Amino acid sequence: MEIASRRIVVTGGAGFLGSHLVERLRLAGCRHIFVPTYPECDLTRWDDVERLFKEQRPELVFHLAAAVGGIGANRANPGRFFYENAMMGIQIVEAARRFRTEKTVVLGTICAYPKFTPVPFREEDLWNGYPEETNAPYGIAKKALLVQCQAYREQYGVNAIYLLPVNLYGPRDNFDLEASHVIPALIRKCVEAVERNRAEIVLWGDGSPTREFLYVEDAAEGIVAAAERYDKPAPINLGSGVEISIRDLAEKIAALTGFAGRIVWDASQPNGQPRRCLDVSRAEAEFGFRARTPFEDGLRRTVAWYLASRQS
């Protein structure tokens, strides 16, 4: 698909990943990009979604909008996360069908994978068990959109593709400790501990789980590549293929932020999914995507952005 001349809608385009995707689209020559914003456009309301499609008549839609957070946010909002993510996605894909949108790119989540998925996670394993309990409502709501995309393709000929990005990080991430994911939360805790001369920080779990991370600019590049070159029903992992334990991650971030105190693990709090690491071979084979940013480089850029944002 040639995308530069297309009318494009990016839901969630003012957010963390979305803002980077919009920049990447502009670099690709796209000039007709519309970003709906809340509350003017509430994607859980059909009237708002219908108005969006009537007014913008998009030829290409990227559905990134999501109600999302870390373990704490998922535990506090299971009902809201299920409802809002399901409703937004279902209505966007339905509108794409009704308005004959040429292509729709739906972002899923690796929280949809079963709790004990064999590592590396292969797309074929997506249905082989129940997700990790703390993020299951979110993961299942997002996984339902894969079923919808495939069903609509089969019955209506809707060209909707489904991508499964791994944990993202980078500049403009959410650093609110009530809702953030692990990397921004660790950066903020370490920076504040240095500023307040604290001797220790307390982190959830025991540090043993592993995670894979993808730098946000790489993710945006992969999403654009999929929009241009991928048109099949099978889901596609987007990741770096590099796995690190939360304990090792915390030590790296402590070193980058200058925190030399103790890291205390609160094992009474949940670990989340034991391991996360993706098989990323399908993305490379289908549309030539491979993550380019070395993990430590990405962490340095993220820390630098956060420090600069606190001074502005």
Please identify every residue annotated as catalytic.
138
**Cα three-residue angle 43-46-52, rounded to 5 degrees:** 65
Query: For residues 66 and 77, what is the distance between their CA atoms, to the nearest angstrom?
Result: 13
Q: How many CB atoms lie under 10 A from the CB of residue 303?
A: 20
- The continuous run of DSSP H or E covering 33 comes out as strand 32-34
Query: For residues 29 and 51, what is the distance between their CA atoms, to the nearest angstrom?
Result: 26
CB-CB contact of 223 with 107 (8 Å): yes
Q: Which residue stretches of the chain are H helix?
A: 16-27, 46-56, 71-76, 78-98, 136-156, 182-195, 216-229, 246-257, 281-287, 295-311
**What 8-state DSSP symbol labels residue 123?**
G
CB-CB contact of 178 with 250 (8 Å): no
**3-state SS assignment for residue 197:** coil
- The continuous run of DSSP H or E covering 200 comes out as strand 200-204
Q: Which residue stretches of 230-294 are H helix?
A: 246-257, 281-287
